[in-house]
Amino acid sequence: MNRLGLFFADMWRSRAAYLFLAPFLLSFLYFILFPVVMAVFLSVTSYDGFTFPRFVGLRNFIALFTQDLVFIQHALPNTFRFALIVGPGGYVLTFLVAWLIHQIPSRIRDWFTLAFYAPAMAGPVALNVVWMVAFSGDRVGYVNDALIRLGIIRTPQLWLQDPKYLLMILIAVSIWMSFGVGFLAMLAGLQTVNPELYEAGRIDGIRGRLQEVFYITVPSMKPQMLFSAVMAIVGTLRAGQLSVQLTGQLITPQYSAHLIINHVDDFAYARYELGYASAVSVVLLLISYGMMRLSYRLFAPKEE
């Protein structure tokens, strides 16, 4: 019997297990695998959503890296600049806050956890209530009001329309909203570390909290660190939607906060060049895959 026959025979013997796995497998195929395959297929075609796709080979990718000045000069560098600050910065800050919360008494720990996790739960509501009001372009905005009262500025600034500040505001909002599921995973991982390891570490010569974190805490919670890293990558690469919500525009002023995901939306929903948008999404997929592979090398348990 060939391998395929053995595989189906094994599936039939374990049909009860596969029956329970079926909802997840079907969801994975429909919502993950099928869209990825379609994106790769459409990336080598010219397709406007109405006519049948026309095969063009690698022409979309060649145009993307040789002719698309918005992608080369704005989307790509903005994405890497944004990812380098929000990704590692938000990740380290998430771990630091989770570690500090873990040090406080358990009776008040839940309140601090809720306070930091609340922005991620609120989502768009938090953007509208907090950040859009804070950076409102009139005197009612919290930032303008505070700076005018302090005498730093005389007239209100249009923060969300100023190319000099928009990307930094987007970075600040993204870091503020980075305390999501990955933050909870880190907090849960800290609670699973065996306290006896710290006592053994002191006997072996470990001195100070920093050495404990580096030699005991992080190695003991690598699965949670890996999960948080993956969630941070996903959150960073889809953060382009924040600029649309903050400014109300698909294209930000002078492309100052234009990320790769915004480039995809621009060509897909505004220009109906779905083949070209698929090529951009494939490039984004490859970038995210490379970042995830790096995360696996850093945090995957050694036995894997």
Please indicate whether residue 33 or residue 120 has the higher confidence score (pLDDT): 33
Kindly list the domain boundaries of the chain, sorted by start residue. 70-258
Q: Contact at 8 Å (CB) between 119 and 173? A: no
Give the pLDDT confidence score for residue 128 in this predicted structure. Answer: 63
Separation of alpha carbons 51 and 68, rounded Å:
24
Give the pLDDT confidence score for residue 251 in this predicted structure. Answer: 87
Q: Contact at 8 Å (CB) between 181 and 189? A: no
Domain 70-258 matching CATH 3.40.190.10: the answer reads no
Separation of alpha carbons 163 and 142, rounded Å:
20
pLDDT tens readout for residues 173-183: 888 877 877 88
Percent residues over pLDDT 70 in the chain: 95
Please indicate whether residue 55 or residue 127 has the higher confidence score (pLDDT): 55
Tell me: pLDDT of 208 over 90: no
pLDDT tens readout for residues 244-299: 888 888 888 899 989 999 999 999 999 999 999 999 999 999 988 888 888 788 77
pLDDT tens readout for residues 106-143: 888 888 888 888 777 766 666 666 788 888 888 888 89
State the helix-helix crossing angle for 76-103 and 274-299, rounded to 10 degrees.
40
Is the pTM for the entire model greater than 0.75? yes
Residue 1 pLDDT level (bands cut at 50, 70, 90): low
Structure tokens of 302?
Answer: 């050694």
